[in-house]
Amino acid sequence: MSAADQGGAPRPDWPLEVHGALRSAGISQVSYVPDAGHARLIRLCQDDPALRSVPLTSEQEGVGLAAGAHLGGARSVLLMQSSGIGNCVNALSMVQVCGFPFLTLVTMRGEWGEFNPWQVPMGQSAAQCLRTAGVIVEPVHEAGRIAPAVAAAARLAFDSSRAVAVLISQRILGAKSFAEH
């Protein structure tokens, strides 16, 4: 985003910075379920010939793609919204049991200013569900800290063969409303 934040200072273009962090980490495959919070990052990845962008019908497919990428010698990232975590819980057991690296970037819902009551339960339990599934969770609440968090999470995931999730706060993305739909 290039709009000014509430203090009048320019906001970091975190999707562009994250795209660079993914490239620097050697990511070659990006899987995603379409999501407004990740829309610009998804477009950047789709437009990058060095990245294979794979749209999914459900988030747990991304866990399987990450496993396959690892077995094929490649690095993968799964982009999803917090509501998709519930779809991944069973598949995440494969990550823990098999011990392969897994990186996911999660745009949060059900937090600050949420309008949709259906988003609240998973949004409020997302970090706990991931931790219970053996995933290391890194919440980020400021746009300027997303790319460094992604770079550090990628190092941790791929150098230690661990599952790591970066949770991008709804405060960064902005609250939606029924009027926008």
Q: Are 109 and 123 in contact (CB under 8 A)?
A: yes
CATH of the domain at 35: 3.40.50.970
In a domain, 36, yes or no: yes
Domain that holds residue 88: 15-112
In a domain, 146, yes or no: no
In a domain, 24, yes or no: yes
In a domain, 175, yes or no: no
pTM to 2 decimal places: 0.90
Residues 6+ apart with CB under 8 A from 118: 83
Q: Are 29 and 52 in contact (CB under 8 A)?
A: yes
One-letter amino acid for residue 39 of the chain = A
Domain count, the chain: 1
In a domain, 72, yes or no: yes
Residue 133 zone, left/alpha/beta (φ > 0; ψ -120 to 50; rest): alpha
54-76 residue pLDDT tens: 999 999 999 999 999 999 999 99
4-58 residue pLDDT tens: 344 555 567 999 999 999 999 999 999 999 988 999 999 999 999 999 999 999 9
81-105 residue pLDDT tens: 999 999 999 999 999 999 999 999 9
